[in-house]
Structure 1
Amino acid sequence: MKTRENEPLVSIITVNYNQSKITMELLASLRKVSYSNIEVIVVDNASPSDNPDIILEQYPEIKLIKSQKNLGFAGGNNLGILESKGKYLLFINNDTEVTVNLIEPLVEKLELNPEIGVVSPKIKFFFNPEFIQYAGYTPMNPYTMRNNLIGYRQKDEGQYEKTSEMPFGHGAAMMIPRSVIEKVGLMADIFFLYYEEHDWFERIKKAGYKIYYVAESTIFHKESISTGKDSPLKIHYIARNRIVFMRRNLFGFQFIISLMFQILISIPKNYLSFLFKRNYKLLRAFQSAIIWNVENIFNRNIHKNNTLKSLKNGDI
């Protein structure tokens, strides 16, 4: 039987923004996990209307890191990486709650398979726990820059109980070895929010690693609590970063075809959809995303990747 002494240390990193109560619900569930050798790191992203100190008061065993500004999902997690010590890093959204045996299957898969760079558990809806959110991903369409969740909104009847290689993990719950991060670098903070984990997965695969969905491990997700369903924030960053992802990961003929698809089909379609629905808030958010990409057409930071060394030197 494994003990704390021979279990690899797992650093669990989550980012808080104005949601101390939600974050503490996650921490309460983490106190019940059966895996004993963990450290828990909460990064507060400069919450303007929340007091993160209450998290530390209620959960003194955690590390609380206070960012001086909102760095988004990517930058916040990168700060957590800097403070972590684990052999494996488990990134989980603060609007999740874990199962007792979440960690063991993930660690075992990585321990036995050094060629694997990312593992993600089955993700189920917290408020509808019989239904699946994630049991893998389909490949990214190189022209539309879209892919689909496998099992999404399907009732869990045991149809996704096979651990399988996937093109992508899930940003709400993903475990990555420290050695992989040291090799490929950190999340690209140009994304701020959305698509940053997909970009990370692409870089991890290009480095020769595989990505796996681990069916024996489960976590529950309170989807859309943090940004809201189809909020202006969400629409802006998804539209903005879909193009950023394309610019970072497509080249040659594929890039040209994808760019034409965005310009001739995707952008007009979305614009007209918001216009006909008279949803002017979302329309403005969408417009600002396209304008940002035009204004930053020559921005070299779009292709920049931070490393652990650059982060330690304050380059974030």
Structure 2
Amino acid sequence: MASISVITVNFNQPLVTEELIHSIQAQGSTVTEIIVVDNGSKINHVPEWTTRYPHISFIRSNTNLGFAGGNNLGIKAATGDYLFLVNNDTEFTPRLAETLADTLDRFPSVAVVSPKIRFFSVPDTIQYVGFTPMNYYTIQNASPGYLEKDRGQYDNIERETGFVHGAAMMIRKEAIDKAGLMPENFFLYYEEMDWCERFKQAGYRLMINTNALIYHKESISVGANSPLKEYFMNRNRILFARRNSPPAARLFFYVYFILLVCTRNILVYIAKGNFAFIPVLLRAVWWNVTNNKDSTVLGYTLK
């Protein structure tokens, strides 16, 4: 039987991380190890956690390395055949990890599999049951089932998906050895989508298994509506196009984003009174003008 490492990243949310730990333990999961990476939190809870949870591995980074950087620390330390990367704002359900591992066991060509995701605050509502392929001209794709009430219409689905979901993804360790670690230049948002492209280029497939279920508390660390999120969502949408769209599609996207997306976003900011978001959007665009596609410069001051 394949060994499973669960990896999660904490950033200033110790109680949320502890809730995740308790949910894993409550399910009696057969995971081999749990690794918690503290990603430069203001208060270092690792010494306390090490005492309270002696069977869990804790890693402390003194600086915030971003979503990818924090997870990569855990990946480097993990010993499992399969690495289950989960947001710290998630809650396990029975046989979650085992069900996903079974998919990887049966499909050697699959690099990553995600479970069905429901919102924790509205537990009968779907967040994710798969993504459609990307439109590389607009950098848009769809999430079938999003915000639908879960009445069983997506049960017993095990199939390929355009992209997995970064909140919960189980990855074959040997696939990471071939495709590389999660790209750290995104820092926050789109990094798992870019990683999916790397797995595809390495010859692997991506899957969803809706017989596995996880609950997601959504945007606890960043905030549902924040300048930080607005900056990286826009900066990294452009960056994703630069790294993955074919030349003709990439040129179309640039025109589409500047003329349509930026104009629309600015009008929405004004209508909602979010005037401070306007320079954030312009800064996101300017970052892509002044930085190469592999740059790790953030272009944003973290607070």
Instruction: Decide: shared fold, TM above 0.5.
Output: yes
- 1:120 paired with 2:114, answer yes
Count of aligned positions:
295
Distance 1:54 1:172 in 2: 26
* Aligned twin of 1:24: 18
* Aligned twin of 2:198: 203
CA offset digits 1:120-140 (Å, max 9, x no partner): 000011111111110111222
* Aligned twin of 1:69: 63
- 1:14 paired with 2:8, answer yes
Distance 1:67 1:207 in 2: 30
Distance 1:136 1:300, change over 3 A: closer
Distance 2:288 2:253 in 1: 15
Match of 2:211 among 216, 219, 223: 216
> How far is the alpha carbon of 1:52 from its aligned partner?
3.8
> How far is the alpha carbon of 1:300 from its aligned partner?
5.5
Q: Does the aligned pair in 1 maintain the 2:6–2:31 contact within 8 Å? A: no
> How far is the alpha carbon of 1:50 from its aligned partner?
5.4
Match of 1:190 among 175, 185, 191: 185
* Aligned twin of 1:275: 270
Distance 1:173 1:300, change over 3 A: closer
* Aligned twin of 1:301: 294
Distance 1:223 1:300, change over 3 A: closer
* Aligned twin of 2:163: 168
> How far is the alpha carbon of 1:258 from its aligned partner?
1.2
Give, as a single letter, the amino acid of the residue that structure 1 aligns with 2:10: N
Distance 1:301 1:253 in 2: 20
CA offset digits 1:202-237 (Å, max 9, x no partner): 111122111111011000000121111121111010
* Aligned twin of 1:309: none
Please state whether the residue corresponding to 1:183 is helix, strand or coil: helix
Moved more, 194-203 or 268-277: 268-277
Written as runs of structure 1 = structure 2, the 5 A alignment for 1:1-316 is 7-49=1-43, 51-161=45-155, 162-296=157-291, 299=292, 301-302=294-295
CA offset digits 1:112-153 (Å, max 9, x no partner): 110111100000111111111101112222122122222111
Please state whether the residue corresponding to 2:111 is helix, strand or coil: strand
Q: Does the aligned pair in 1 maintain the 2:117–2:214 contact within 8 Å? A: yes
Give, as a single letter, the amino acid of the residue that structure 2 aligns with 1:74: A
> How far is the alpha carbon of 1:76 from its aligned partner?
0.4
Please state whether the residue corresponding to 1:13 is helix, strand or coil: strand
Q: TM-score, normalised by structure 2?
A: 0.93
Q: Does the aligned pair in 1 maintain the 2:109–2:204 contact within 8 Å? A: yes
Distance 1:116 1:275 in 2: 45
> How far is the alpha carbon of 1:37 from its aligned partner?
3.9
Moved more, 213-222 or 258-267: 258-267
Q: Does the aligned pair in 2 maintain the 1:19–1:50 contact within 8 Å? A: no
Please state whether the residue corresponding to 1:301 is helix, strand or coil: coil
Distance 2:48 2:124 in 1: 33
